[in-house]
Amino acid sequence: MLLIGLTGSIATGKSTVSSLLSQPPYNLPIIDADLIARQVVEPGTPGYNAIVKHFLPSTPDLLVPVSEDMPENGPNGKGRPLNRPALGRRVFGTSPERAKDRGVLNGIVHPAVRKAMFWAVVREYVKGKRAVVLDVPLLFESKLDRYVGQVMVVGVRDEEVQMERLMRRDGHLSREDAENRVRSQGGVMKKVERAAFGGGVVVWNDGDKDDLKRELRRVMEEVERGSPRWWGWVLWVCPPLALVVGGWGLWRNWRGEREWEEKERRERAKL
């Protein structure tokens, strides 16, 4: 089974590509890290409790306000849901304080997300799926790229396009908020470069949806050539071979990651 690691920066169109991949002619199962990340911090979960314990003392509006529809202890008695815009303002930004807070939040959420994603992949493998899409915004940052067979980055060439799309999508965001969110996830062109370095593919989303569909078709044809369906069936009917191939892929990705980091160190040393 081919694991496709789908990533991109905020407002590049990654969610649209994910939706297209779940529909004909692809019909691929999508394991959405953002959706899982919401589930693992729902009231009553260990993730929720850890976030409230760390952030609530210094973030009074961390939880959705009490109202007629929202009791003090939440609708299920396990606590009020997180106020995501407030939490976003706390962790998005380029200052050292924001980076530290973001690190704390990621340290709570990422392990729980990885565990849930692992079991989701196992379920799809048992069903005999030929490929699965792991939709992960921070694929490289969370080191999940080392576990996939094909990295796919959704990119735009102009950062201004990202910010315009983001403000259009989330009307409550100011220009400063949009800039902070775009830059907190790192420049998308760096992700494009990282993908190309490791043999990944790029879906360019600079135009309208029809342009995106054509671009995705081109990219998926390239992916299919590199991992034909018959090979997926061979791995499914022969689990020992699948383990060997998976182990080789993990080592290959780990080696590529080390080479990329060494390349980055050399470039920084030249500055």
pLDDT at position 238: 87
Q: Domain residues for 57?
A: 38-128
pLDDT at position 61: 93
Report yes or no: 226 and 219 within 8 Å, Cβ to Cβ: no
Least confident segment among 17-26, 144-153, 203-212, 236-245: 236-245
Check whether residue 152 and residue 203 sit in a common domain: yes
Check whether residue 104 and residue 144 sit in a common domain: no
Report yes or no: 11 and 165 within 8 Å, Cβ to Cβ: yes
How would residue 116 be classed by pLDDT, with cut points 50, 70 and 90? very high
Using the 3D structure, point to which of 79, 98, 128 is the last residue of a domain: 128
Find the DSSP H helices in the chain. 14-21, 33-39, 46-55, 84-91, 96-126, 159-169, 175-184, 188-197, 209-226, 229-237, 239-270
* Cα 136 from chain centre: 2
Report yes or no: 180 and 94 within 8 Å, Cβ to Cβ: yes
Cβ-proximal residues to 101 (8 Å cutoff; 6+ apart), any chain: 55, 90, 91
pLDDT at position 235: 82
pLDDT at position 185: 65
Other beta carbons within 10 angstroms of residue 118's beta carbon come to 12
Q: Measured between alpha carbons, how far is residue 18 from residues 137, 180, 215, 218 in Å?
A: 11, 24, 13, 15
Using the 3D structure, point to which of 128, 160, 191 is the last residue of a domain: 128
How would residue 168 be classed by pLDDT, with cut points 50, 70 and 90? confident
Residue 123 corresponds to which tokens in the numbers above? 């379920």
* Mean of pLDDT values over 6-12: 91
Check whether residue 1 and residue 101 sit in a common domain: no
Asked whether the predicted pLDDT for residue 270 surpasses 70, the reply is yes
Check whether residue 179 and residue 233 sit in a common domain: yes
Amino acid occupying residue 79: G
Check whether residue 221 and residue 99 sit in a common domain: no
pTM for this one?
0.81
Asked whether the predicted pLDDT for residue 93 surpasses 70, the reply is yes
Asked whether the predicted pLDDT for residue 135 surpasses 70, the reply is yes
Taking all residues of the chain, what is their mean pLDDT, rounded to a whole number?
A: 90
Computed on alpha carbons and rounded to an integer, the radius of gyration of the chain in Å comes to: 20
Check whether residue 120 and residue 147 sit in a common domain: no
* Mean of pLDDT values over 148-158: 93
Check whether residue 155 and residue 247 sit in a common domain: yes
Check whether residue 160 and residue 229 sit in a common domain: yes
Check whether residue 252 and residue 138 sit in a common domain: yes
Check whether residue 108 and residue 225 sit in a common domain: no
Strand-pairing partners, residue 134, are: 5, 31
SS3 7: strand
Q: What is the pLDDT of residues 245-262, one digit of tens each?
A: 889 999 999 999 999 999
| Of the candidates 83, 40, 39, the residue with the CA atom closest to the CA atom of residue 61 | 83
Asked whether the predicted pLDDT for residue 182 surpasses 80, the reply is no
Asked whether the predicted pLDDT for residue 63 surpasses 80, the reply is yes
Number of domains in the chain: 2
pLDDT at position 92: 85
How would residue 52 be classed by pLDDT, with cut points 50, 70 and 90? very high
Report yes or no: 26 and 20 within 8 Å, Cβ to Cβ: yes
Residue 112 corresponds to which tokens in the numbers above? 């729980």
CATH of the domain at 120: 3.40.50.300
Asked whether the predicted pLDDT for residue 158 surpasses 80, the reply is yes
How would residue 3 be classed by pLDDT, with cut points 50, 70 and 90? very high
Report yes or no: 262 and 203 within 8 Å, Cβ to Cβ: no
Check whether residue 108 and residue 137 sit in a common domain: no
Asked whether the predicted pLDDT for residue 60 surpasses 70, the reply is yes
Most confident of 92-101, 198-207, 228-237: 198-207
Cβ-proximal residues to 29 (8 Å cutoff; 6+ apart), any chain: 22, 124, 129, 132, 133
Q: Is 265 exposed, middle or buried (0-12, 13-18, 19+ CB in 10 A)?
A: exposed
Asked whether the predicted pLDDT for residue 145 surpasses 90, the reply is yes
Check whether residue 165 and residue 270 sit in a common domain: yes
Using the 3D structure, point to which of 104, 128, 152 is the last residue of a domain: 128
| Of the candidates 42, 232, 211, the residue with the CA atom closest to the CA atom of residue 128 | 232
Asked whether the predicted pLDDT for residue 85 surpasses 80, the reply is yes
Using CA of residue 34, residue 35, residue 36, residue 38, what is the dihedral sign? Answer: positive
- Of the chain, the percentage scoring pLDDT greater than 70 comes to 99
